[in-house]
Amino acid sequence: MRIALIATCLGDALFPEVAKATTVLLERLGHQVVFPADQVCCGQMHVNTGYLTEAVPVVRQHVEVFEAADFDVAVAPSGSCVGSVRHQQAMVARRVGDTALADRATALAGRTYELSELLVDVLKVTDVGAYYPHRVTYHPTCHSLRMLRVGEKPLQLLRAVQGIDLVELPGADQCCGFGGTFSIKNADTSSAMLADKVANVVGTGAQVCTAGDASCLMNIGGGLSRGDTGVQTIHLAQILASTREQVAA
Amino acid sequence: MSTFLGIPRRHAAQEESPLRGALPFPKAARRELANDQLRRNLAHATSVIRSKRALVVDEMPDWEALRDAGAATKTQVMSNLPALLEQFEANVTARGGVVHWATDAQEANRIVTELVRAQGVDEVIKVKSMATQEIGLNEYLEDNGIAAVETDLAELIVQLGHDTPSHILVPAIHRNRTEVRDIFLAEMEDAPADLTDEPRRLAMAAREHLRRKFLASKVAISGTNFGIAETGTIGVVESEGNGRMCVTLPETLITVMGIEKILPTFTDLEVFLQLLPRSSTGERMNPYTSLWTGVTPGDGPQNFHLILLDNGRTNALADQVGRAALHCIRCSACLNVCPVYERTGGHAYGSVYPGPIGAVLTPQLTGMHGHHDVNSTLPYASSLCGACYDVCPVKIPIPDLLVELRGRAVDADRGRTIPGGWDAAMKAAAWIMSDPTRFAAAEKGLAAGRLVAGRDKKIKHLPFPGSAWTHTKDMPAPPKQTFRQWWKETHHE
């Protein structure tokens, strides 16, 4: 399958290893990955901060770049960004009266998937041949959980990873407190939410906390790091891309 | 038409109201977050209600169908509200009730006070009611020499503690039992001197205290959960039976009802009496459901007055966000699952309607008037995690409504002479993020972040506004190479 990669703005700039791992994983599974080079951002930050009008050119850029690209399906290693593509892009376009853009965004959203959705629902694979010999706990990010309803898919993928010791995270479905600019606008409340998430992660005894969103992991990782907990954060795509050969090297 | 004599009416934005806080949400939240006891009380109480709710909802095979039915009925009600209200009024009147219409809090309070005065009493008993809290009725009555005694246990705790409610359903959720005992001992004149903090003893003390009030009171004031247009019936659901005492024992009953509480037909109760208790208290059925229709000679109150309260609802109805928010049946499920509410409690929202639905409803009822207005901070009091929508029994899309209200808060400030920091930052970001060349240039700038990072590649201090982040957590140093640079190196096409 020809799969277009949405690296996400945060992934491109701050967490390139997530997009790299997504690429490596999909290529290993025998697919062709394309990267439409003029992509930037889905527009979620603007939408969720209330700058809905400002989000429109960002959305237009996304739609135009991916419309022009040649691919079967698009994937983003981010439940949040895919949530934005599916639930917000058409909404902001419609809000400024651009129904044509709204329709184009909806059409693109129809073939855009979050990584675990792509693997399990579209590519019909749960065992991706990964090897990751660590104790891991999984945080289901809010938008994966409630906007996309990915449900058990990420866990199905993780359970099939060889060597992994997957431990359940108490209060898993509670928000980590990131919420984009919420973490700045309501920093105190956000930090209080994060403190509980960090305590829950540490309580599992896991060495690694994983999730399907680099943004939430940046928040949780920031708290784990400040608390000198020794617990690392790693994106689901990186675990799935990890192989025995790679670990041995 | 009365002659205008007074000072011009101030705009709602400046008016003191139980619907409007004094502080912007982030500041009020900081104040509440500092209270460790409050946070422990809230975390415990909300998690208990959450798991109870989840249990009784999971056992319902048709829960989603019930939610759909509830949402559909509410949509129907909002589309036909004027006609339904007229039908309701006609049926209440035909059954011996007296209907009054109040456009705002002031008018509703004045009507209630006149009705109480007409009975020649200076003390009334009350059923817990959000509508009367919303209009500040107790305070208004007090200013007019009338004592209003709350008979709901939690509401009584709040009243005796000279406190304000912090939850729609569990107004004293922020108090633990030791605090309750201390309040009773200090403020309840007939509390036993050897009162302990055992819940049963506390309940018994309140019961003794209230029983005397029930038997002596001539006038009761209630709110309502449902008003049924088809029959003119009022419904109140509760757990303790105090409400039933109020609506049956006194000679006069005065009910204040928000105009959105209408249900078209009696059979609609079938859906809502399943949705409400499971969503609110996590019970299959609430212990007491009281329904009354007008006046029945020789049985129950012989004077029944119904005050239909607008107080911003008509304005809300004319707006797509407001109309959706008016679907709310005040179950408070969204409060109990909200991670923001769980940490800050209800007082941080500054309104009698806290939590996710409060963050939508409050600005709808009292307006958002630019960045200086505390109401403009409420739509941001959410991480948009979506838990509120999942539990809403009438499927109010709260996160979507919050996003739209954020959009309006921003729009209200457009054209400011001096744009705010967020305006400048978001405009710049949109300029960068709508163009790949500009974005790539900005990414180069990010590399400067590597300089401020320590050897461990962590940034521990950022200047404002990044300091809001690094105050409690680290920021990773930007990588040496962006993804698109790596792609160029590895994928020559």
What would the pLDDT profile of A99-109 be if each residue is shown by its tens digit? 999 999 999 99
Structure tokens at A180: 């984009």
Helix (H) or strand (E) holding B263: strand B262-263
Residue A247 lies in a domain: no
The architecture CATH gives domain B60-314: 3-Layer(aba) Sandwich (3.40)
Task: Say if residue A164 is in the same domain as residue A108.
Answer: no
Smallest CA–CA distance from B459 into chain A, residue: A222
Question: Cα separation of B94 and B297, whole Å?
Answer: 14
Of the residues A2, A5, A14, the best mutation for testing chain B's interface (the one with the most B CB atoms within 10 Å of its CB) is A14
In the prediction, which pLDDT does B12 show? 46
Contacts of B339 in chain A (CB under 8 A): 174-175, 177, 193
Binned at pLDDT 50, 70 and 90, residue B2 comes out as very low
Burial of B143 (0-12, 13-18, 19+ CB in 10 A): exposed
Contact yes or no for A7 and B344 at CB 8 A: no
Q: Write the residue in A52, A180, A223 that is nearest to B407 by C-beta.
A: A52
B426 touches chain A (CB under 8 A): yes
> Which of A206-220, B166-180, B380-394 shows the lowest mean pLDDT across its residues?
B166-180
Burial of B441 (0-12, 13-18, 19+ CB in 10 A): exposed
A17 touches chain B (CB under 8 A): yes
Residue A187 lies in a domain: yes
Burial of B490 (0-12, 13-18, 19+ CB in 10 A): exposed
Task: Say if residue A106 is in the same domain as residue A144.
Answer: no
Contact yes or no for B382 and A35 at CB 8 A: no
> Which of A225-229, B263-267, B335-339, B467-471 shows the lowest mean pLDDT across its residues?
B467-471
pTM of the model: 0.94
Binned at pLDDT 50, 70 and 90, residue B4 comes out as very low
In the prediction, which pLDDT does B9 show? 40
CATH number of the domain within which A223 lies: 3.40.50
In the prediction, which pLDDT does B15 show? 62
> Which range marks the domain in which residue A21 is found?
2-122
Q: Write the residue in B381, B386, B435 that is nearest to A146 by C-beta.
A: B386
Task: Say if residue A80 is in the same domain as residue A149.
Answer: no
Residue A129 lies in a domain: no
Contacts of B382 in chain A (CB under 8 A): 179, 182
Structure tokens at B137: 């009725």
| Sign for the pseudo-dihedral over CA of B59, B65, B69, B70 | positive
Task: Say if residue A41 is in the same domain as residue A103.
Answer: yes
In the prediction, which pLDDT does B7 show? 44
More confident position, A74 or B455: A74
Q: Which of residues 73-92 of A touch B (CB under 8 A)?
A: 88, 91
Contacts of B381 in chain A (CB under 8 A): 186, 189
In the prediction, which pLDDT does B447 show? 80
Q: Which of residues 441-480 of B touch A (CB under 8 A)?
A: 443, 446, 458, 460, 465-466, 468-469, 471-476, 478-479
Contact yes or no for B387 and A221 at CB 8 A: no
Q: What is the distance in angstroms between the Cα of A197 and the nearest Cα belonging to chain B? A: 11
| Number of domains into which chain A is organized | 2
A27 touches chain B (CB under 8 A): no
The answer to whether A142 and A220 are in contact (CB under 8 A) is: no
Question: Cα separation of B58 and A29, whole Å?
Answer: 38
Compute, in degrees rounded to 10, the torsion defined by CA atoms A200, A202, A208, A213.
30
Contact yes or no for A40 and B435 at CB 8 A: yes
pLDDT at residue B44 is higher than 70: yes
In the prediction, which pLDDT does B3 show? 41
Contact yes or no for A17 and B411 at CB 8 A: no
In the prediction, which pLDDT does B121 show? 97
Residue where one domain finishes, among candidates A67, A100, A122: A122
Residue A105 lies in a domain: yes
Binned at pLDDT 50, 70 and 90, residue B169 comes out as confident
3-state helix, strand, coil in chain B (%, to 5): 55, 10, 35
Q: What is the distance in angstroms between the Cα of B335 and the nearest Cα belonging to chain A? A: 13
- Beta bridge partners of residue A112, listed in sequence order: A74
Contact yes or no for B484 and A12 at CB 8 A: yes
What is the Cα gyration radius of chain B?
Answer: 26
Q: What is the distance in angstroms between the Cα of A25 and the nearest Cα belonging to chain B? A: 14
Burial of B34 (0-12, 13-18, 19+ CB in 10 A): exposed
Residue A102 lies in a domain: yes
B33 touches chain A (CB under 8 A): yes
Contact yes or no for B433 and A61 at CB 8 A: yes
Contact yes or no for A17 and B33 at CB 8 A: no
Contact yes or no for B25 and A9 at CB 8 A: no
Contacts of B374 in chain A (CB under 8 A): none
Question: Cα separation of A79 and A16, whole Å?
Answer: 17
Task: Say if residue A103 is in the same domain as residue A170.
Answer: no
Structure tokens at A92: 């902001």
Q: Which of residues 157-196 of B touch A (CB under 8 A)?
A: none
Q: Which of residues 212-241 of A touch B (CB under 8 A)?
A: 218-219, 221-223, 225-226
Task: Say if residue A118 is in the same domain as residue A152.
Answer: no
Q: Quick check: bond before B465 cis, omega within 30?
A: yes
Contact yes or no for B484 and A55 at CB 8 A: no
Domain range list for chain B: 60-314, 423-490
Smallest CA–CA distance from A221 into chain B, residue: B474
Task: Say if residue A109 is in the same domain as residue A10.
Answer: yes
B406 touches chain A (CB under 8 A): yes
The answer to whether A86 and A125 are in contact (CB under 8 A) is: no
Q: Which of residues 226-255 of B touch A (CB under 8 A)?
A: none
Contact yes or no for A51 and B426 at CB 8 A: yes
Smallest CA–CA distance from A63 into chain B, residue: B434
Per-residue pLDDT tens for B309-362? Answer: 999 999 999 999 999 999 999 999 999 999 999 999 999 999 999 999 999 999
Residue where one domain finishes, among candidates A122, A156, A181: A122
pLDDT at residue B13 is higher than 60: no
Q: What is the distance in angstroms between the Cα of A198 and the nearest Cα belonging to chain B? A: 11
Per-residue pLDDT tens for A151-190? Answer: 999 999 999 999 999 999 999 999 999 999 999 999 999 9
Task: Say if residue A114 is in the same domain as residue A142.
Answer: no
Per-residue pLDDT tens for B55-71? Answer: 999 999 999 999 999 99
Task: Say if residue A94 is in the same domain as residue A140.
Answer: no
B387 touches chain A (CB under 8 A): yes
Q: Write the residue in B29, B389, B411 that is nearest to A189 by C-beta.
A: B29
Residue A51 lies in a domain: yes
Residue where one domain finishes, among candidates A122, A153, A176: A122
Residue A127 lies in a domain: no
Q: Rounded mean pLDDT of B192-201?
A: 95
In the prediction, which pLDDT does B27 show? 97
Q: Which of residues 268-307 of B touch A (CB under 8 A)?
A: none
Question: Cα separation of B57 and B81, whole Å?
Answer: 30
A121 touches chain B (CB under 8 A): no
Per-residue pLDDT tens for B86-109? Answer: 999 999 999 999 999 999 999 999
ipTM of the complex: 0.96
In the prediction, which pLDDT does A93 show? 98
DSSP 8-state code for residue A168: P
B117 touches chain A (CB under 8 A): no
Residue A181 lies in a domain: yes
Mean pLDDT of chain A: 97
Contacts of B466 in chain A (CB under 8 A): 184
Smallest CA–CA distance from A15 into chain B, residue: B479
